[in-house]
C-alpha cells in the first residue's frame, strides 16, 4: 500500500493499518499553571475595511495573499479586487462544499465534500490522498514536515490517522481514566503528536510507543496551531493552552480572563483573538494589534507583505504593516472626517456646532479636541446614538495628532 501526498498520481484506495497505543501510566498530570499576561498597547496599526457583508468559513492564504473561504469556493485578494481561485486542471475536479481550512507549511489546504485540495500555482488541485481518507469523518488535518519527511495528522471523531512514509495508519488511544471526543490533533514531527480528547491533553509517541497525559481540565478547544518556535497552542474557553517543546504546559490568559476564540501561526509567534481584541504573541511578549468585535474562528492571517487580516463578523479588515506606517498627513485623515463626522458638523444637523473638517487649517484647529472626544467614553464623538467608533477606526486621527498634524 502506498499513499501519495503531494504528487498528483492517483493510487488505489486502501484500508489503514492499525496501531493500538498502550494506555498512559495512571499518574495524575500536574495542575495547569496559569500565566496572566498584560498586553502592551502601543500605537495600533491602522485598519481599513476591505470587504463588508462577507459570508465565509474563514480566511486562508493563496500564493501568500489573503483569501476568503466560503462553502462554495475560495476568492483571493489580488491588488484591491477579490478574484475566484480556479479549481483543478481545466475544471476536472469539482470542489464540492468546503468544510475545513488547514495549513501545509506556508500554504493552505481545504477539506471539502469531494476531497482534500491543495494550492498549486494559484489553482486548487485535488490531492490523491483524498481517495484514502474517510472524508465525511475527517474533522481536521495538520501537516508537519516537508518533502520525504512530510506527515499528515488527520483527526476524525473517533481516531487519529497518520500518513507518513507512504503508509496510512489509524492510531487508537486507550485511557481507562479519560474518554470523550477527539478535539484537536497537532503533529510535532512524523512520530509524535499532541492530542486533546475530552478534557485531557496527551502526548502520543507512535515510535516508542507511549502515551503521556500532559494536562487535564481543558475547556472547549476552538483552534490550534504549531508555532515556528516549536510551541503548540490551543485556543480554549479558559485561555491559550501552550505546550512547550519540553512538554511543559501552561494556560495563558490575556489581561481580563476570557476565552481565546482563535489562534493562527505568525512566524515564530502567533496571532491570538481574545476578549474582543487581536494580539500578537512572540515568546512571552504580547502586543495589542486591534479590536475584533465578532471574531470568526480561522478568521485571522498575515499575508506575505506583512499585513494582518481579520474576519470581524461579516467584515474583512486589514491592519497596515509596520513598513506602511508612514507619517499621517491631512489627505490620510480627511476621509475619516468625511465618513464619520461631516454628516452632522457640516450643516449643523442634530444640533451639532458647525465645524469645517474639509480644510486643513480648520481640521487642524479642531484635531486635538476631536481626538479627545473620540476617546471619551462618557461623551464620545460621534455620539453613541450614531454608533461608537472602535480604537482601530480612529487610529488614523490619533496618529495624525501624534505626528504633529502634518498638512
Ligand atoms: C450624529 C451627529 C454627530 C456626529 C456624526 C458627530 N458629531 Fe460631533 N457633535 C455633535 C453634537 C450634537 C455636538 C454638540 C454637543 C456635544 O458637544 O456633545 C458635537 C460636538 C463636537 C465637538 C465639540 C465642539 C465644541 O464646540 O466644543 C467636537 C470637537 C466634535 N463634535 C467632533 C466630532 C468628530 C471628530 C466627529 C467624527 C469622528 C463627530 N464630531 C461626529 C454631533 C455629532
Task: Check if 231 has its Cβ closer than 6 Å to any atom of ligand 1.
Answer: no
For 16-55, write each residue's pLDDT tens digit: 788 889 999 888 888 888 999 988 887 778 888 888 899 9
The residue whose CA is least distant from atom 3 of ligand 1 is: 344
Q: What is the pLDDT of residue 122?
A: 77
The sign one gets for the Cα dihedral 274, 40, 307, 301 is negative
Task: Check if 381 has its Cβ closer than 6 Å to any atom of ligand 1.
Answer: yes
Q: What is the pLDDT of residue 91?
A: 60
With a cut of 80, say whether residue 80 has pLDDT above it.
no
Measured CA to CA, the distance from residue 223 to residue 199 in angstroms comes to 15
Q: What is the pLDDT of residue 30?
A: 83
Cell digits for 343? 454628516
Task: Check if 156 has its Cβ closer than 6 Å to any atom of ligand 1.
Answer: no
The residue whose CA is least distant from atom 28 of ligand 1 is: 370
**Which atom of ligand 1 is found nearest the CA of 343?**
5
Measured CA to CA, the distance from residue 101 to residue 224 in angstroms comes to 12
Q: Which residues contact 152 (CB under 8 A, 6 or more apart)?
A: 5, 129, 141, 142, 143, 161, 162, 163, 164, 187
Q: What is the mean pLDDT of residues 120-128?
A: 85
Q: What is the mean pLDDT of residues 143-152?
A: 89
Q: How far is the CA of 350 from the centre of ligand 1 (A)?
A: 10
How sure is the predictor about 392, in pLDDT bands with cuts at 50, 70 and 90?
low
CB atoms within 10 A of CB 51: 17
Q: Is 145 left (phi over 0), alpha (psi -120 to 50) or beta?
A: left
The mean pLDDT of the chain is 88
How sure is the predictor about 120, in pLDDT bands with cuts at 50, 70 and 90?
confident
Q: Which residues contact 309 (CB under 8 A, 6 or more apart)?
A: 50, 59, 66, 300, 301, 302, 303, 316, 317, 318, 319
Burial class (CB in 10 A: 0-12, 13-18, 19+), 391: middle
Measured CA to CA, the distance from residue 305 to residue 357 in angstroms comes to 33
Q: Which of 4-18, 137-151, 238-252, 290-304 has the lowest mean pLDDT?
A: 4-18
Pocket probe for ligand 1: among 383, 392, 397, the residue whose CB has the most ligand atoms within 8 Å is 383
Q: How far is the CA of 310 from the centre of ligand 1 (A)?
A: 30
The sign one gets for the Cα dihedral 159, 164, 168, 174 is negative
Please, what's the b/e burial string for 286-305 (b: 16 or more CB within 10 A of its CB; e: otherwise)?
A: bebbbbbeebbbbbbbbbee
For 327-381, write each residue's pLDDT tens digit: 789 998 999 999 999 999 999 999 999 999 999 999 999 998 998 898 777 789 9
Q: What is the pLDDT of residue 325?
A: 63
Measured CA to CA, the distance from residue 59 to residue 70 in angstroms comes to 9
Q: What is the mean pLDDT of residues 306-319?
A: 92
Give me Rg for the CA atoms of the chain: 24
Q: Are 66 and 34 in contact (CB under 8 A)?
A: no
Please, what's the b/e burial string for 154-173 (b: 16 or more CB within 10 A of its CB; e: otherwise)?
A: bbbeebbbbbbeeebbbbeb
**Which atom of ligand 1 is found nearest the CA of 340?**
37
Q: Are 172 and 190 in contact (CB under 8 A)?
A: no
Task: Check if 147 has its Cβ closer than 6 Å to any atom of ligand 1.
Answer: no
Q: How far is the CA of 356 from the centre of ligand 1 (A)?
A: 12
CB atoms within 10 A of CB 244: 12
For 160-216, write each residue's pLDDT tens digit: 999 998 889 999 999 998 888 999 999 999 999 999 999 999 999 999 999 999 999
How sure is the predictor about 234, in pLDDT bands with cuts at 50, 70 and 90?
very high
Which of 302, 298, 260, 297 has its CA nearest to residue 277?
Answer: 260
Measured CA to CA, the distance from residue 199 to residue 350 in angstroms comes to 55
Q: What is the pLDDT of residue 402?
A: 75
Measured CA to CA, the distance from residue 111 to residue 139 in angstroms comes to 9
Task: Check if 370 has its Cβ closer than 6 Å to any atom of ligand 1.
Answer: yes
CB atoms within 10 A of CB 206: 18
Task: Check if 345 has its Cβ closer than 6 Å to any atom of ligand 1.
Answer: yes
**Which atom of ligand 1 is found nearest the CA of 351?**
12
**Which atom of ligand 1 is found nearest the CA of 394?**
38
How sure is the predictor about 382, in pLDDT bands with cuts at 50, 70 and 90?
very high
Q: How far is the CA of 387 from the centre of ligand 1 (A)?
A: 13
Q: Are 19 and 168 in contact (CB under 8 A)?
A: no
Pocket probe for ligand 1: among 348, 352, 364, the residue whose CB has the most ligand atoms within 8 Å is 352
User: CA distances (Å), 62 to each of 122, 151, 281, 332, in order?
Assistant: 7, 21, 24, 30
Q: What is the pLDDT of residue 195?
A: 97
With a cut of 80, say whether residue 1 has pLDDT above it.
no
With a cut of 80, say whether residue 304 has pLDDT above it.
no
Pocket probe for ligand 1: among 381, 389, 390, the residue whose CB has the most ligand atoms within 8 Å is 381
Within its chain, how far is the Cα of 199 from the centroid?
23
Q: How far is the CA of 381 from the centre of ligand 1 (A)?
A: 5
Q: What is the mean pLDDT of residues 84-104?
A: 85
Measured CA to CA, the distance from residue 252 to residue 233 in angstroms comes to 10
Q: What is the pLDDT of residue 3?
A: 53
Pocket probe for ligand 1: among 335, 344, 385, the residue whose CB has the most ligand atoms within 8 Å is 344
For 55-69, write each residue's pLDDT tens digit: 999 999 987 789 999
Cell digits for 151? 506527515
Amino acid at each position: 500500500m502506498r499513499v501519495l501526498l503531494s504528487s498528483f498520481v492517483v493510487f488505489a484506495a486502501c484500508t489503514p493499518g492499525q496501531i493500538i497505543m498502550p494506555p498512559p501510566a495512571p499518574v495524575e498530570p500536574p495542575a495547569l499553571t496559569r500565566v496572566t499576561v498584560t498586553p502592551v498597547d502601543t500605537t495600533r496599526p491602522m485598519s481599513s475595511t476591505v470587504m463588508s457583508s462577507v459570508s465565509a468559513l474563514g480566511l486562508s492564504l493563496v500564493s501568500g495573499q489573503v483569501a476568503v473561504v466560503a462553502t462554495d469556493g475560495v476568492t483571493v485578494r489580488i491588488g484591491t479586487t477579490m478574484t475566484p481561485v480556479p479549481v483543478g486542471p481545466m475544471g476536472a475536479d469539482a470542489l464540492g462544499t468546503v468544510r475545513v481550512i488547514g495549513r501545509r507549511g506556508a500554504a493552505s489546504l481545504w477539506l471539502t465534500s469531494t476531497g482534500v485540495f491543495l494550492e498549486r500555482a494559484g489553482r486548487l488541485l485535488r490531492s490523491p490522498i483524498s481517495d484514502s481518507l474517510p472524508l465525511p469523518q475527517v474533522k481536521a488535518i495538520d501537516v508537519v514536515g516537508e518533502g520525504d519527511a512530510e506527515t499528515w495528522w488527520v483527526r476524525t471523531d473517533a481516531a487519529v490517522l497518520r500518513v507518513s512514509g507512504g503508509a496510512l495508519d489509524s492510531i487508537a488511544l486507550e485511557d481507562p481514566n479519560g474518554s470523550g471526543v477527539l478535539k484537536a490533533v497537532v503533529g510535532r514531527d512524523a512520530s509524535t503528536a499532541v492530542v486533546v480528547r475530552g478534557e485531557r491533553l496527551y502526548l502520543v509517541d507512535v515510535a516508542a510507543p507511549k502515551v503521556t497525559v500532559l494536562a487535564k481540565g481543558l475547556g472547549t478547544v476552538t483552534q490550534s496551531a504549531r508555532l515556528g518556535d516549536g510551541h503548540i497552542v490551543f485556543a480554549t474557553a479558559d485561555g491559550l493552552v501552550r505546550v512547550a517543546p519540553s512538554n511543559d504546559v501552561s494556560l495563558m490568559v490575556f489581561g481580563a480572563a476570557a476565552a481565546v476564540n482563535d489562534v493562527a501561526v505568525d512566524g515564530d509567534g502567533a496571532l491570538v483573538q481574545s476578549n474582543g481584541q487581536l494580539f500578537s504573541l512572540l515568546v512571552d511578549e504580547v502586543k495589542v494589534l486591534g479590536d475584533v468585535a465578532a471574531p470568526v474562528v480561522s478568521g485571522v492571517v498575515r499575508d506575505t507583505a506583512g499585513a494582518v487580516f481579520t474576519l470581524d463578523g461579516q467584515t474583512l479588515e486589514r491592519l497596515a504593516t509596520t513598513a506602511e506606517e508612514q507619517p499621517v498627513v491631512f489627505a490620510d485623515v480627511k476621509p475619516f472626517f468625511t465618513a464619520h463626522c461631516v454628516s452632522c458638523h457640516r450643516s449643523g444637523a442634530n444640533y451639532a456646532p458647525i465645524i469645517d473638517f474639509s480644510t486643513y487649517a480648520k481640521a487642524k484647529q479642531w484635531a486635538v479636541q476631536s481626538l479627545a472626544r473620540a476617546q471619551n467614553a462618557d461623551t464620545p464623538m460621534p455620539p453613541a446614538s450614531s454608533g461608537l467608533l472602535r480604537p482601530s477606526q480612529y487610529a488614523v486621527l490619533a496618529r495624525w495628532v501624534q505626528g504633529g498634524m502634518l498638512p
